[in-house]
Amino acid sequence: MNKKTELLNKFGAKVREERLKRGLSQEELAAKADVHRTYIGMIERGEKNITLTNIKKVAEAIDLEINQLLTNL
C-alpha cells in the first residue's frame, strides 16, 4: 500500500469512527455536510482524495475542528 492510499484509508476510518460516535448514517452526515451520500462512503473507504473545502464541511457536520480529523493520520 502506498503512502497516499494509506493516508486516505486512515482519514476515511477517522471520519467513519466520528460519524458512528454521533449515531449518524452516511446519508445523515452527507446532508449535514452538503455533499452527496455516496461521497461519504467513498471517503470512508479511502476511494476519494477529499478536498480541503470538503474536509471543512465534514468536520463542521460532525462538530469537530479540521485539525481533530487530521490528528494521528
* pTM, full prediction: 0.93
Amino acid making up residue 61:
A
Tell me whether residue 73 is in a domain.
no
| Three-state helix/strand/coil letters over the chain | CCHHHHHHHHHHHHHHHHHHHCCCCHHHHHHHHCCCHHHHHHHHCCCCCCCHHHHHHHHHHCCCCHHHHHCCC
Asked whether residue 47 carries a pLDDT value surpassing 80, the answer given is yes
Place of cell 482524495: 49
Domain count, the chain: 1
Q: What is the CATH number of the domain that holds 11?
A: 1.10.260.40
In a domain, 47, yes or no: yes
pLDDT digits (tens, 9 = 90+) for 52-63: 999 999 999 999
54 inside domain = yes
Considering the chain, what percentage of its residues have pLDDT values greater than 90? 92
Asked if residue 13 is part of any domain, the answer here is yes
Neighbours of 20 (CB within 10 A): 12
